[in-house]
A and B are shown apart, each in its own frame.
Chain A
Amino acid sequence: MDTTNTQMKTVTYDDAIVRAFSTVTVLWGVVAFLLGVIIAAQLSFWQANFGVEWLSFGRLRPLHTNAAIFAFVGNGIFAGIYYSSQRLLKTRMANDMLSWAHFWGWQLIIVCAALSLPLGLTQGKEYAELIWPIDLLVVVVWVIFGANFFWTLAKRNEKNLYVSIWFYISCIVTIAVLYIVNNLALPTGLTHSYPIFGGVQDALVQWWYGHNAVAFFLTTPPLGLMYYFMVKAADRPVYSYRLSVVHFWSLVFLYIWAGPHHLLYTALPDWAQTLGMLFSVMLWAPSWGGMLNGLLTLRGAWDKLRTDPVIKFFVVAVTFYGMATFEGPLLSIKSVNALGHYTDWIIGHVHGGALGWNAFLTFGILYWLFPRLWGTKLYSTKMAELHFWIGTVGILLYVVSMWVSGVSQGLFWRALDAEGFLKYPDFIEGLSNSIPMYHTRLLGGVLFLGGSLLMVWNLIMTARSGKPVTVSVQVPAQRPAGDKENAWQLLTSAPMLFMIGLIVLAVWFGAAGSMLSPVLLALLIVLGVAMIISYGVHQKRWGHWYGLIERNALVFTLLALVAILIGGAVEIIPTVLASKDVPLQITEKMAAADPVLAEKAKWVQKPYSPLELAGRDIFVREGCYNCHSQMIRPFRHEVLRYGEYSRLEESLLDHPFQWGSKRTGPDLAREGGKYDNLWHYMHLNNPRSTSPASNMPTYKHFKRKTVNVPALERHLAVQKKLGVPYTDQDLALAGQRYASQAKLISDDLAAKSITVPANSEIIAVIAYLQRLGRGPQPLAPVPVAATPAPAVQAVPATTLPAATPAAVPAKTPATKTTPAGH
């Protein structure tokens, strides 16, 4: 910046907010790692659940993931953004009050999460578990953060936006879109809601969010931080600015499409799966471009790797970024995913990214920031070195054990004997084989936690040895003049119009029939040639075009928003339309007229009874989906083990969907009818009584706790608003039907000398489990002579379908397997 003959003014940075965010990052980091160690211990030793409902794995695992993502990495990101943005924009944050509202609001969210998740208050969707009032708080705090950030952009004293700022912008706008869409829900009360999407729609929206929470919260902001802090630590400019342009735009455009790779071989339409796979593989290029750009930034400064622990943390972080972004596309290839999905391999992959990339980058930033924020030197370099090595060994133990465990599980599940039947039909046998790896993982986690405790001590002592520093900078009194071109002129400039034209023609060409395609192809070529000529004639103007875009925060933000919206729209809108094509009530006349519809009719889901819905709510509350999937993939070994593969039509009414992402226990999609009520009672009460090697927590509190039956009518009413075909009569008779069906199960248990109140939670959970994969179950005793039972006798007839085996699809061909163990 030319400051000659220019009056200068002093800008004082707000580093108090950076100190606050940095400090809580350290605190929440330890909490997140400790929770990780606890849940790792629970998988090794079921006793570590302590028989306490709010300490069970299903409730603590969401707390661990939320603490790691939003509390630890989140606060670390904010610390880095506040520090680097002020310096890159040469201005103080726009409004201190907004900064502090952001800080305290975010901490309030974390405390609310820490209280609500162990209490079982959850939405039942991974990384989106927080209940709707907390979601609203998240939105408010995010808007405050965004407003403060964009306001700061508007009052900046530097014309150009450095690459880090681009990544921050993409994070702010994309997370806003993802979070709001995925958390759209209708409340049934202050602490409970049902998502507006159901079944396959919910699955796609959830993983569009889930994957891009990784992308735009755990990847793009840390990449922005990498482009600032690594550059500063190495004291070298970024290796290639042009590569960073390609890195940014390719990453934000491609990432948003990749969500469906979490749903390969599920009931998601095949085209969406293929799209997810292809875009995931394409992501390899920009991800590695970014990684290489980061590593090569150290050119000429590699000697610092020997002496500077900050550089050590950064180099390992970027290396793990490269490893994770190699492994991610690899796992997205359908044939690899067939082996790896639902296994510990995914856990290893995720933790390679979370511990190696996110945590190590954050550690490096903290070690770099603390001495500067407190105007001192790091208390102990040796302690930081020790932290680095302990942490690295911890990550390696964790990741390698999960790779071994995951690949073994995948091979174990799919192993068939010479006759084509399951070689290991008992699921629990595979779990037993994984336990040594779980112990190794636990050791890795303990080491990682131990290393972070060293960091806590080191940073506390660093802060104590210095004093908070106030940093100022001289900038020209006059803000730099804006460019002549306004936003509209930029959006309608030649490069932009050519690009839009090419994209429109390319899309049209793809969708057009054989007659129109040659014409469109010719037009595409003509436009391409015209673009080259235009570039040749106006080379200088084209050369400055990106500079103009990147200096105009509004245009830049709009383009980033469009880039991420395209992928989301192309995937979600057709899926929503496709599932709307399935009529929820197919009459015999409709089925007779359309053979395809007749086939679908066999699978279309019927609404849950009030008791089953209550059981499902408890299933969601306990986080059972953390260990049990409800999605049988179309593989012989899965069909042999669990039954007929899952269809899209079977879970359309599930709000939220419960397809799951991990199988520590077996799939439950067709659990209904595999065991009797007594087995489920014994299993929930003490899983070891039916499956001696199980590591599942006990659910003794199901016997003690009762269902709030009067509230069920409201739950059914909300489901009805969401499109579940309940009638007014179904709602009015909810309590009566609940009691009637519950009595059937409690009477059955009583006949086997088990006395349990009909309104206890265990009855509802058993009813739900017995319903899975089957049609509606009897709501009252079925007359012996009636085969099949025409309708419920004791309860007035309604639209709730009668219990009939017709709704139960035929099971798979006979197997010589025994039912999967638990």
Chain B
Amino acid sequence: MALYKYFIKRLALTLPTLIGVSIIVFLLIHMIPGDPVDIMLGDRVTDASRLALEERLGLNQPLHIQYWNWFSNAVKGDFGISIRSNQPVIEEIMSRLPATVELTVVALFIAVVFGIIFGVSAARYRNTTIDYSMIGFSLLGVSIPIFWLGMMLIFFFSVILGWLPVSGRLAMGIAIPQVTGLYLVDALFAGNISYFWDALKHLALPAFSLATVSLALIVRVTRSSMLDVLSEDYIRTARAKGVRENKVVFTHALKNAMIPVVTVIGLQLAKLMGGAILTETVFSWPGIGRLLVTAISVRDYPVVQGVVFFVAFAFIAINIVVDLFYAYLDPRIRYE
């Protein structure tokens, strides 16, 4: 099967899932026990404002019509208007999206680069102190609550040592000209190294705490996959030929050991998207996760619906890209 045919098939299979997701997200607002308008407006409410909100949310219409209106607007990116800020929900999401993207991409980068380096070194120096400390690290790393880790990092690096900032994306008074919204990239565009350094310092702790769980998993998988590959016949042949051990590990083994690692990396995106909700809350990072948690606490349901649908949609889209990548790497997948 050609890659584009596989892509179309994969896309067609996703469509019913996407519609199902939209139904669940839509129904959320109707599953709230009690009257959503009362809950959103609180106790002191006049009949006029009540009717106005009902009208605005379309709650006075039959359910299927409400759904259709919501869905047809949602696919166009229109999730309605925030009850608290009176801004369109999509604008609220878009203004915070770059912060979340920057955080998760940097965290994924840390997890992949260090995960592979640590995992390979553990396998290369099997049953040495290096190996044992990597195993220990990966055991602890998968079980640590990242929101607590984040707090402990703040306490150590910010409160005690004073090296890194406690929260936010930039120091007070700094304004980077916005191009992409990714401050690291924008600072480079502006050619301002001190801004770049400041953004990086703010990013360090949140990105590291978010990366920890994925990093630990990647270390574990890389190590065991490398050990499997290193026991293969062709590795023994290479060693018997007198190839240097580093060359055996890095050129002969590494490439073949990467297939299970790539699979695990693909699975980390869901973890990171969930973890971002926690990390952003710990570090007051102005991203989508914090937008969601705040919206939940002030019962701003259009924002909750918008963010959840947006994130689920992004998650599905990312999964398709990951699947396509596998299909490209391993053509057998396309025929399954």
Partners in one complex: no
Q: Give the interface of A toward B (CB within 8 A).
A: none
